[in-house]
Amino acid sequence: MKESEHFSLQKRLNSFRFAFNGLKSLIKNEHNSRLHVVALICVIGLGLVLKIELTDWIAITIVSGLVILTELLNTAVEKLADFISPDLNKEIGLIKDYCAGAVLISAVISLIVGVLIFIPKIIAVIKSFY
């Protein structure tokens, strides 16, 4: 930060606007992010219906944040890579694959946490009908 720059509430508020613009653009333009958001809405709905515990909500919040975070970073790297090298490039392709792998790992972790939280509760609900 430059010495002459002083704290500006307006600049801090603008940084939030830029961040929300990034999230809006991600959801609008990236198909996989929309799938993640739909999955998150379903998980929240199921969590409310099954009245999951606070610790379950914490786990869901963390893994959901991880998925959205990796999707944002993957998209940013892809956009930057395409800007730097619009033509097919083996090394850039490998970098994009690494980022896509990170999204996949975060989604699998999220799925595992969801299974560990919801399957026992769903089984309990099914058993309660018999």
Residue 81 lies in a domain: yes
The number of angstroms, rounded, from the C-alpha of 90 to the middle of its chain's C-alpha atoms is 27
DSSP 47-89: HHHHT--HHHHHHHHHHHHHHHHHHHHHHHHHHHHHHH--S--
Our count of domains for the chain comes to 1
pLDDT at residue 6, as a whole number: 83
Instruction: Tell me the residue range of the domain where 28 lies.
Output: 10-128
Question: For the segment 71-123, what is each residue's pLDDT rounded down to a tens digit?
Answer: 999 999 999 999 999 999 999 999 999 999 999 999 999 999 999 999 999 99
Task: Kindly report the pTM of this predicted structure.
Answer: 0.85
Residue 3 lies in a domain: no
Residue 49 lies in a domain: yes
Cβ neighbors of 99 (< 8 A, separation 6 or more) are 70, 73, 74, 77, 78
Question: For the segment 2-52, what is each residue's pLDDT rounded down to a tens digit?
Answer: 566 788 888 888 889 999 999 999 999 999 999 999 999 999 999 999 999
